[in-house]
Structures are given as structure tokens and as C-alpha cells.
Amino acid sequence: MTLQEYDYARESPSKLAASCLLLALTMKNLGGWTPTLEYYSGYSAQDLHPLVKRLNFLLTYQPRDKLNAVRSKYSHAVFFEVAKVTPMDMLKLEEALTSC
């Protein structure tokens, strides 16, 4: 979904991927950012918090009028319907991130 947003073009791909992973781990209650993830990604959880919040907001604010190709593609069962995942409540996300 970030492919359609110019604001994310300035982010490094590795930081964007790490933030997406942290958001997914948080949304699915699969644990936090481990020392192993920090070592191999090069990012601490605190480095990723602002971008994780922006990504969750992107899930919350879904413009339906333009550029629906990516959303449509990832709404199919082949891609596990990840575009239909409901975003986390921002307060719960903030609480979960502070506990990482």
C-alpha cells in the first residue's frame, strides 16, 4: 500500500520492511521486536515506532477513489486478503509499542 503514497518514498526500503514486520507482529500478538530482529535489521524498536504508527494510520485511512489496483490485488484469497486486515486502535498500538 505504500507504493501508492509519495510520503513513503523517502523511507529506506529496509526501514519500511522492518516497520511493516513490527506492525504485523504487534497486530497478531506474536511478540515484540527481539534482539535478533534488531541485530539483523539494524533498527531498534524505538527507531521504528514513528513509521509503524504512520503505517497503521495508512491502514485506517484508505482512500477508495483512486489507485485501487494494489488494494484490489491484495484483497484476494491468493494473497491471504491482507488488504482487508483491520488496523489497530492507535491507543492500543501506542501501548503495545511502549512495551516492546
Bigger pLDDT: 53 or 4? Answer: 53
Q: What does the pLDDT average to over 12-29? A: 95
Residue 42 pLDDT exceeds 90: yes
Q: What does the pLDDT average to over 39-63? A: 91
**Longest CA–CA separation in the chain, Å:** 41
Cell of 4: 501508492
* 15 touches 43 (CB < 8 A): yes
Residue 67 pLDDT exceeds 70: no
pLDDT for the residue numbered 2: 85
Confidence of residue 59 (pLDDT cuts 50, 70, 90): confident
Alpha helices (H) in 1-100, listed in sequence order: 13-27, 35-41, 45-60, 69-73, 90-98
Q: How many structural domains are present in the chain?
A: 1
Instruction: Using DSSP, state whether 89 is helix, strand or coil.
Output: coil
- Domain at 17, CATH number: 1.10.472.10
Residue 79: CB partners within 8 Å, gap ≥ 6? Answer: 73
Considering the entire predicted model, what is its pTM?
0.84
pLDDT for the residue numbered 61: 78
pLDDT for the residue numbered 24: 93
Parent domain of 87:
2-99
